């Protein structure tokens, strides 16, 4: 896209307008996407682009490059950095987990955890997590559920879904034998359950590319390393996510909610079936007419350690 990419001054010639944009490459990418989508309906073209070029996934008739989706490299970098930090220090890096929502709807993003992040000494996803073995698994379960709740499509490279310890090696198969161990199989079960929930709950994907499908509940609780937000569907379905990024159980944590009703616990990554300690909310909680966090209603919940909770509103 740029004539000066990997070139020093004097090694490139400006375009006819005096700029650094590679006009031929831009035209080729636009025409490539136009032809592909015209001749092969239903395909996806996906761009990995890290220079903040505007409109990568915008249609060409609106001035974009015409790709269907773009990898969200910023989300990946910020969240992996945050997840590698000892939980006691996460309060000082709270911006890492809120900044991505400032630009989440500028492109059709894919949240990507690709093979690039588990090779060449970068370690596997599970190995990146801090703490002892229990905390590593809890951190990864929390992170993956958080990823499912965050706006954007999902890409999880093989091996991450059951917590492979080793980096990816293209010369051998995955370490499938790990599935005989409860914690690895519990992580696999969590991903399986969330895939089912993701397909059956339009609030998790229907309005991925617009602010209409997302709303913060509270992004300012850095002291407790807790964030909470809503996902919405066109028909008014609401799912509330709450993330506790510390190994401390937060009993009687009050959370503002948009409407009165029963908030049924869809997912608790600390559930015993996933390898957790089974701290939870007995399947759901009913709202109270008590103002909190700028909302007329609220719920009182227990936040498990290093866990993500998802509650669906049942009116």
Which residues have CB under 8 Å from 158's CB, separation 6+? 168, 174
Alpha carbons within 13 A on the beta-carbon side of 202: 7
Cβ-contact 291, 298 below 8 angstroms: yes
CB atoms within 10 A of CB 294: 8
What value does the mean pLDDT of the chain take?
97
Strand order in the sheet with 284-286: 214-218, 226-232, 238-244, 307-314, 262-268, 284-286
Q: What is the pLDDT of residue 90?
A: 98
Query: Please, which pLDDT band fits residue 51 given cuts at 50, 70 and 90?
Result: confident
Domain coordinates in residue numbering, the chain:
211-314
* List of long-range contacts for 4-10, beta carbons under 8 Å, 24+ apart: none
Q: Does the pLDDT at position 301 exceed 90?
A: yes
- What is the tens place of the pLDDT at every residue in 114-156? 999 999 999 999 999 999 999 999 999 999 999 999 999 999 9
Rounded mean pLDDT, 287-306: 97
pLDDT above 70 covers what percent of the chain? 100
Per-residue pLDDT band at 100 (split at 50, 70, 90): very high
Segment (H or E) for 110: strand 109-113
Beta bridge pairs of residue 230: 215, 240
Phi, psi of 128 (to 5 degrees): -70, -25
The residue with tokens 């350690």 is 305
Q: What distance in Å separates the CA atoms of residue 92 and residue 83, rounded to the nearest whole number?
A: 13
**What integer pLDDT is reported at residue 50 of this predicted model?**
86
In the beta sheet, which residues pair with residue 290?
none
Query: Tokens 């379960």, residue?
Result: 141
Helix or strand (DSSP H, E) at 200 = helix 182-200
Residues 6+ away with beta carbon under 8 Å from 19: none
Give the tens place of pLDDT for each residue, 158-204. 999 999 999 999 999 999 999 999 999 999 999 999 999 999 999 99
Architecture of the domain delimited by 211-314? Sandwich (2.60)
d(CA 255, CA 257): 6
- CA proximity to 87, closest of 48, 57, 129, 45: 129
Characterize the bridge pairing of strands 109-113 and 153-156. Answer: parallel
**Interval 247-255 mean pLDDT:** 98
Report the candidate in 312, 104, 291 with the shortest Cα–Cα distance to residue 212: 104
User: Which element (helix H / strand E) includes 83?
Assistant: helix 73-83
Alpha-carbon distance of 211 to 234, in angstroms, equals 12
Comparing 33-37, 51-55, 274-278, which segment has the lowest mean pLDDT?
A: 51-55
pLDDT category of residue 279 using cuts at 50, 70 and 90: very high
Q: Is residue 52 over pLDDT 90? A: no
Closest C-alpha among 59, 66, 74, 83 to residue 104: 74
């Amino acid at each position: 896209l740029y004539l000066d990419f990997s070139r020093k001054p004097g090694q490139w010639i400006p375009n006819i307008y005096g700029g650094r944009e590679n006009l031929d490459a831009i035209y080729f990418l636009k025409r490539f996407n136009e032809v592909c989508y015209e001749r092969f309906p239903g395909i996806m073209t996906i761009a990995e682009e890290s220079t903040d070029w505007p409109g990568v996934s915008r249609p060409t008739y609106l001035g974009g490059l015409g790709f269907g989706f773009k990898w969200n490299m910023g989300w990946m970098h910020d969240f992996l950095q945050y997840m590698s930090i000892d939980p006691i220090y996460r309060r000082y890096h709270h911006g890492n987990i809120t900044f991505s929502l400032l630009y989440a709807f500028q492109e059709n993003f894919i949240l990507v955890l690709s093979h690039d992040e588990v090779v060449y000494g970068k370690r596997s996803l599970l190995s990146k997590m801090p703490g002892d073995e229990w905390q590593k698994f809890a951190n990864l379960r929390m992170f993956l559920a958080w990823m499912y709740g965050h706006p954007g499509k999902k890409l999880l490279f093989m091996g991450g879904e059951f917590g492979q310890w080793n980096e990816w090696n293209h010369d051998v198969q995955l370490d499938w034998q790990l599935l005989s161990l409860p914690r690895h199989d519990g992580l696999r079960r969590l991903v399986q359950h969330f895939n089912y929930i993701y397909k059956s709950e339009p609030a998790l994907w229907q309005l991925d590319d617009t602010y209409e499908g997302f709303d913060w509940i509270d992004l300012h609780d850095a002291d407790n390393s807790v964030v909470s937000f809503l996902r919405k569907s066109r028909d008014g379905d609401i799912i509330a996510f709450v993330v506790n990024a510390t190994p401390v159980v937060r009993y009687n944590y009050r959370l503002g909610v948009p409407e009165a009703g029963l908030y049924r616990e869809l997912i608790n990554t600390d559930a015993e079936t996933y390898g957790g300690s089974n701290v939870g909310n007995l399947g759901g909680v009913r709202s109270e007419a008590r103002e909190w966090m700028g909302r007329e209603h609220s719920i009182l919940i227990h936040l498990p350690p290093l866990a993500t909770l998802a509650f669906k509103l049942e009116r």
